[in-house]
Chains A and B, each alone.
Chain A
Amino acid sequence: MKSKTVRAMALAVTIPLGLTLSACAGDDAGGGGGSAGGTIDYWLWDSNQQPAYQKCADAFTAANPAWKVKITQRGWDDYWSTLTTGFQSGTAPDVFTDHLSKYPEFAKNKVLMSLDDAVGKVDTSIYAPGLADLWVGQDGKRYGLPKDWDTVALFYNKEMTAAAKISDDEMANLTWNPTDGGTYEKAIAKLTVDKNGKHGDEAGFDKNNIAVYGLGLPGSGAGNGQTEWGYFAATTGWQYTNKNPWGTQYKYDDPRFQQSIAWWKGLIDKGYMPPLKATVGASMNDNFGAKKSAINANGSWMIGSYAAYKGLKLGIAPTPVGPSGKRASMFNGLADSIFAGTKKKEGAGKWVKFLASADCQNIVGQEGVVFPAIDSGVEAAKAAFKAKGVDVTPFTIQVDEKTTFLFPITDNAADVNAIMQPAMDAVLQGKSDVSSLTKANEQVNALFK
């Protein structure tokens, strides 16, 4: 018995370590040493995109018969923990889809291969403006080649807007400000319906018994609020960091940011948006599909999911125009990176080059799942979405009118998020005032000292 407790106690310590240990064994089975050819391991996290990239892989093998590509898909959470242990044990994939919030740490720890070496010079002017620059590290080396981009727009239920007598034209020209919420809040209020059928702007509206929320809530958005609050907070002129990329100070203490969050939290108090506690375990878009909310701000990578809900007429509108007189949307882009420990540098370089070329991005565009980083791919994607009956202009308008802002790239991204997640949760739960974010901001900025 005694030995059992000792073992159980030892387990407490060994579980995290055992995990790293178990990943140590095994070597690449693909074979192929220097330049002979072989199988390139490629990872991505979005299962919606896997078929498109499988087509790219097939085209790549057709052009380079010596190289095959094995695609592995893992969900977002597993993806990063498996990748991190893979870096340590040498079992990370040769090439993988990389994210702007993750790559700075990888680059700093030298687990990414510089693409200047592996791929050589690439003409980056073919990519949407700004995207390629985001993937140059603080050391001036390139660690990723852009594959796609995304923006944010408002998905809405057309039957509900029709019932509330809001025209598509009005939806496309919403305005917003942090004081009274502008026509955006008016629309949200009108679209909120309580259990007795009263709308949010009517007398006798029961804010404690809501049947349909005007605006859906995915969560508190932690430190970057890409689809949660970034699209309106940024229209006040507020910026996440002192400079981008490679800022060294976050600005969550800015009154413009805190006022925007206070307005947003106010929607919960008014009954227009579900409380944060209702989001645990729930999916905002599925609730939209179940007609429990009228508007959802969400990213372009979700178009496919929203368009697939049966029995509802989907509308898409651009995000509202704010105090700056312009719209705003985070402009985020994924890229492909090469693991520094790859044994197939040549093949990996070729594959990344192919992924970043018009040849592959046109194929991806034609599948109509994301917007590729190259213009011709975007055109293909627009056509593919149109064929599915979805007009994606509300997403592309942000790029055309240059109203996008870039994803804030800094060091310590994981730590920043770990501080901001509970801080933002506390504000939305009503446990802390927005002014508490100033203290969180101090903690965040202390990371950079």
Chain B
Amino acid sequence: MATTIAPVPPRTGRRVPRIALGKQSRSDTFTAWLFIAPAALGFAVFFLYPTLRGIYLSFTEYSLFGAPQFVGLDNFAAIADDALFWNSMKVTLWYVVLNIGFQTTIALGLAVLMHRLTKSGIIRGSILLPFLVANVIVALVWFWMLDYQIGIVNTMLGWVGIDPVAFFGSENWAIPTIAFVNVWRHMGYTALLIFAGLQTIPTTVYEAAAVDGATEVQTFRKITLPLLRPVLVLVLIITVTGSFQVFDTVAVTTKGGPINATRVIQVYIVERAFGRSDFGYAAALSVILFIILAVVAYAQNKWLRGGESDLA
């Protein structure tokens, strides 16, 4: 591969000529605000205000009817003693570990395969297919296929002499099953994000590695992974944040059961708010989830040095 070297213009000291800063910049500011306004308005109305109101509601007792009653930290104190909350954190965490663990590993594998083995748009595109189907439909189809009595998966297990598994009905299987369904749906999308990251790694590095006689495994460990790190951090932050918020798959299948085995935090929040009209309590749970997600995202970015690249 030939690289053309463009003539680099000599670096000159860049000094902004100080001309007419006063009037000119004021009208610029105005234009800027004009362009930002629609997005800012949407942000204020749909994100900022609801967030602030949600935080306010978390300090109140509010049943949708009547006005919210300020109760200070009562909701948070009650949550600390709420066995269902701690259970939901445990269940959610277990889901995140399974979901992110499998999803990231499989997606990374798929992305590397796409990168190193094929240039076919059809194959690359088909990997994204599950992501194009709506979440609820994916959940329902798997719910049906994995049914204990009439599901095709259990029928097939029967052919090889395996007893039917209550994928959604058993306490031990329910969360792994839901995690699997979401891995199936999201791995193509995640692979695509990682694939995009792979393409930013210059081929020259791989050529150099090949010249030095590096094996495929060595190349992956010594070149691909380190250079992919900033993209992986981004992917992890997005997917972990999304994973903590798992809701629809549970809502259309197990609805929190059996017993409390799949009562993930979002399901518990919705149950508290809309099932039991306890909007203050639900808002407090949401605030806690918000804080957890903020901390997790910050920690990931910090520890995995998402802001810097080794490609320098």
B273 x A280 contact (CB < 8 A): no
Could you list some 14 contacts between A and B, CB below 8 A?
A5-B241, A13-B290, A14-B47, A14-B51, A16-B283, A18-B50, A20-B64, A84-B277, A87-B65, A278-B149, A280-B257, A282-B149, A414-B275, A425-B258
Give the interface size class of chain B: 35 or more
Bitwise, B38-61 to A at CB < 8 A (1) or not (0) is 000000001110110111010000
Measured between C-beta atoms, what is the minimum distance from B282 to chain A in Å? 6
Bitwise, B49-88 to A at CB < 8 A (1) or not (0) is 0110111010000011110000000000000000000000
Chain A residues engaging chain B, CB cutoff 8 angstroms? 1, 4-5, 7-14, 16-18, 20-21, 81, 84-85, 87-88, 105, 109-111, 275-282, 287, 290, 292, 414-415, 418, 421-422, 425-426, 429, 431
B237 at the interface (CB under 8 A from A): yes
Q: What's the Cα separation between A7 and B46 when bound, in Å?
A: 10
Sample of 16 more A-B contacts, CB < 8 Å, known A13-B287, A13-B289, A18-B46: A8-B245, A10-B51, A12-B289, A16-B282, A16-B283, A17-B50, A17-B283, A18-B50, A87-B64, A109-B63, A111-B65, A277-B166, A277-B258, A414-B277, A425-B257, A429-B258
Q: What's the Cα separation between A29 and B171 when bound, in Å?
A: 48
A9 x B241 contact (CB < 8 A): yes
Q: Which residues of A contact B271 (CB under 8 A)?
A: 418
B65 x A110 contact (CB < 8 A): yes
Chain A's closest residue to B251 (CB) is A77
Q: Which residues of B contact A282 (CB under 8 A)?
A: 147-150
A13 x B50 contact (CB < 8 A): yes
Q: Which residues of B contact A18 (CB under 8 A)?
A: 46, 50
Bitwise, B222-261 to A at CB < 8 A (1) or not (0) is 0000000000001001100110110000000110011110
B168 at the interface (CB under 8 A from A): yes
Contact among A1, A10, A292 with B234 in the assembled complex (CB-CB below 8 Å) = A1
Q: Which residues of B contact A414 (CB under 8 A)?
A: 275-277
B259 x A9 contact (CB < 8 A): no
B220 at the interface (CB under 8 A from A): no
Q: What's the Cα separation between A75 and B289 when bound, in Å?
A: 30
Q: What's the Cα separation between A110 and B66 when bound, in Å?
A: 9
Find residues 98-150 in chain B having any chain A CB closer than 8 Å to their own CB.
Answer: 143-144, 147-150
B276 x A415 contact (CB < 8 A): yes
Q: Which residues of A contact B48 (CB under 8 A)?
A: 10
Chain B's closest residue to A274 (CB) is B149
A17 x B257 contact (CB < 8 A): no
Q: Which residues of A contact B294 (CB under 8 A)?
A: 9
Bitwise, B137-167 to A at CB < 8 A (1) or not (0) is 0000001100111100000000000000010
Q: Which residues of A contact B260 (CB under 8 A)?
A: 422
Measured between C-beta atoms, what is the minimum distance from A99 to chain B in Å? 14
Q: What's the Cα separation between A81 and B149 when bound, in Å?
A: 31
Contact among B166, B169, B245 with A12 in the assembled complex (CB-CB below 8 Å) = B245
Measured between C-beta atoms, what is the minimum distance from B112 to chain A in Å? 22
Chain B's closest residue to A277 (CB) is B169
Q: Which residues of B contact A13 (CB under 8 A)?
A: 50-51, 54-55, 283, 286-287, 289-290
Q: What's the Cα separation between A276 and B170 when bound, in Å?
A: 9
Q: What's the Cα separation between A385 and B262 when bound, in Å?
A: 42
Q: What's the Cα separation between A11 and B143 when bound, in Å?
A: 27
Q: Which residues of A contact B93 (CB under 8 A)?
A: none
Q: A5-B237, A84-B274, A414-B275 are in contact. Are A276 and B258 (CB under 8 A)?
A: yes
A10 x B274 contact (CB < 8 A): no
Q: What's the Cα separation between A425 and B294 when bound, in Å?
A: 35
B64 x A280 contact (CB < 8 A): no
A9 x B290 contact (CB < 8 A): yes
B297 at the interface (CB under 8 A from A): yes
Contact among A14, A279, A290 with B50 in the assembled complex (CB-CB below 8 Å) = A14
B198 at the interface (CB under 8 A from A): no
Q: What's the Cα separation between A87 and B273 when bound, in Å?
A: 14
Measured between C-beta atoms, what is the minimum distance from A258 to chain B in Å? 18
Q: 8 closest Cβ contacts across the A-B interface?
A: A277-B169, A109-B65, A277-B166, A280-B169, A14-B50, A17-B50, A13-B54, A425-B259
Q: Which residues of B contact A421 (CB under 8 A)?
A: 257
Chain A's closest residue to B170 (CB) is A277
Q: A281-B168, A425-B257, A426-B259 are in contact. Are A16 and B297 (CB under 8 A)?
A: no
Q: What's the Cα separation between A432 and B238 when bound, in Å?
A: 39
B192 at the interface (CB under 8 A from A): no
Measured between C-beta atoms, what is the minimum distance from B27 to chain A in Å? 27
Q: What's the Cα separation between A431 and B261 when bound, in Å?
A: 12
Measured between C-beta atoms, what is the minimum distance from B62 to chain A in Å? 10
Most A C-beta atoms less than 10 A away, residue of B149, B241, B253, B259: B259
B46 x A14 contact (CB < 8 A): yes
Q: Which residues of A contact B51 (CB under 8 A)?
A: 10, 13-14
Q: Which residues of A contact B149 (CB under 8 A)?
A: 278, 282, 287, 292
Q: Which residues of B contact A12 (CB under 8 A)?
A: 244-245, 266, 286, 289-290, 293
A418 x B54 contact (CB < 8 A): no
Q: A5-B238, A9-B294, A429-B259 are in contact. Are A418 and B275 (CB under 8 A)?
A: yes
Q: Which residues of B contact A422 (CB under 8 A)?
A: 257, 259-260
A8 x B53 contact (CB < 8 A): no
Q: A1-B234, A9-B297 are in contact. Are A109 and B66 (CB under 8 A)?
A: yes
Q: Which residues of B contact A280 (CB under 8 A)?
A: 148, 166, 168-169, 253-254, 257-258
A17 x B54 contact (CB < 8 A): yes
Q: Which residues of B contact A1 (CB under 8 A)?
A: 234, 237
B191 at the interface (CB under 8 A from A): no
Q: What's the Cα separation between A414 and B150 when bound, in Å?
A: 32
